[in-house]
Amino acid sequence: MWKSLFGGLVVLLAVYLALFGRKKQYNPDDVKGLRVVVTGGSSGIGEQIAYKFASMGAKLHVSARRESKLIDVTAHAKDVGAQEAHYFVASLSSYINASLLIQDAMQKLGGIDVLILNHFTSPYVGFYRHEAKDIEQLFMTNMLTHAHLASAAMETLKENKGRIAATSSAVAFFGSPYTIPYTTTKCALVGFFQSLDHELTINKTDVSVSLVHLGYIGTKSSSVIQDKIKHKPASKVECAAEMVRGIMMREREVYFPASVSWVPLFQALFPDYISNQVQQTYRDNAFS
Ligand SMILES: NC(=O)c1ccc[n+]([C@@H]2O[C@H](COP(=O)([O-])OP(=O)(O)OC[C@H]3O[C@@H](n4cnc5c(N)ncnc54)[C@H](OP(=O)(O)O)[C@@H]3O)[C@@H](O)[C@H]2O)c1
Ligand SMILES: *[C@@H]1O[C@H](CO)[C@@H](O)[C@H](O)[C@H]1NC(C)=O
Ligand SMILES: *[C@@H]1O[C@H](CO)[C@@H](O)[C@H](O)[C@H]1NC(C)=O
């Protein structure tokens, strides 16, 4: 009975998708000259977002801790078409560095049109150690600096009808084993930016907030779980392209891969099924 109901639902969704699922596209000319700030821009998804914006003639500001990587990223961004490409070396483990980052971007770009909050760190993948301190220590880098960066840039974003994006994960929808501190910070990130979006709308500002919900994407940081996970990762290049599309279209929620967009509905309808799927994500005995 459940199986046929499930099958019927899948068919309905497929029909719905075929009819209404086409995504709205932006005009690449609108990107030319946009001043784009990307945190966590030295590798992975952030690096690809930088290149995507660069290829359409944006002015970039990327940041992270590793200067040598940032030098490479800005050089490549210029090669593929960035009008300007600047970098700032900072560990986003303090409010001070977050403030300095915005100051630096303002000085070099003269204003900010797009603020992409993408940096994160994860201390370990494995069973929770029952140490709340592990969670506390992640909050500054994975959530509080995002909130601080958005506030520090708010004035220029309001002046420029700007865009804010924050990178979250599908784990924030259903929780996840083996990444409890990380998952906790992502849930907080979602709560903050969805709520901020409400206040910005109520205040009739022209600043949009895009929450990006990602599934498993192939990057250096996710490679540590590659041999422990049953699924194949999605492409970081395609991920960045979809993020840029959603941000340019000022979409509130952006999903990649597309299947992530069905998770909230499926979870509401079939919570046990989703729980089971989550627990089946990792190979048996991956952490024992
Ligand atoms: N890959 C996935 O499967 C996946 C799934 C869901 C969500 N996401 C999200 O996607 C975003 C990008 O992740 P990714 O997969 O592209 O990982 P990544 O390649 O490891 O990128 C992380 C970026 O953050 C920077 N960073 C790390 N610690 C930092 C710190 N203390 N201060 C400042 N910058 C720091 C890193 O540069 P430095 O080391 O040079 O500082 C790097 O540029 C993250 O928000 C992540 O949660 C990824
Ligand atoms: C700011 O970032 C720099 C460069 O990564 C780092 O050396 C320093 O410790 C950070 N400062 C604080 C207060 O977090
Ligand atoms: C909304 O407006 C109020 C009153 O002017 C102000 O205090 C608040 O900071 C604004 N919020 C945002 C998110 O801009």
Task: Give a yes or no: residue 39 inside a domain.
Answer: yes
Task: Give a yes or no: residue 14 inside a domain.
Answer: no
What domain range includes position 164? 29-279
pLDDT one-digit tens code per residue, 103-138: 999 999 999 999 999 999 987 899 999 999 999 999
**Is 282 a catalytic site residue?**
no
Task: Give a yes or no: residue 12 inside a domain.
Answer: no
Q: What are phi and psi of 285, to 5 degrees?
A: 60, 25
Q: Is residue 45 within 8 Å of 219, Cβ to Cβ?
A: yes
Task: Give a yes or no: residue 143 inside a domain.
Answer: yes
Task: Give a yes or no: residue 87 inside a domain.
Answer: yes
Query: What CATH number corresponds to the domain at position 107?
Result: 3.40.50.720
Task: Give a yes or no: residue 1 inside a domain.
Answer: no
pLDDT one-digit tens code per residue, 183-207: 999 999 999 999 999 999 999 999 9
pLDDT one-digit tens code per residue, 12-48: 877 777 777 789 999 999 999 999 999 999 999 999 9
Neighbours of 281 (CB within 10 A): 17
Q: How far is the CA of 203 from the centre of ligand 3 (A)?
A: 6
Nearest to 176 by CA among 255, 263, 239, 49: 263
- Work out how many domains the chain is built from and give that number: 1
Neighbours of 7 (CB within 10 A): 10
Instruction: Name the pTM for this structure.
Output: 0.95
Task: Give a yes or no: residue 99 inside a domain.
Answer: yes
Active-site residue, from 182, 216, 255, 282: 182
Whether ligand 1 lies within 6 angstroms of the CB of 24 is answered as no
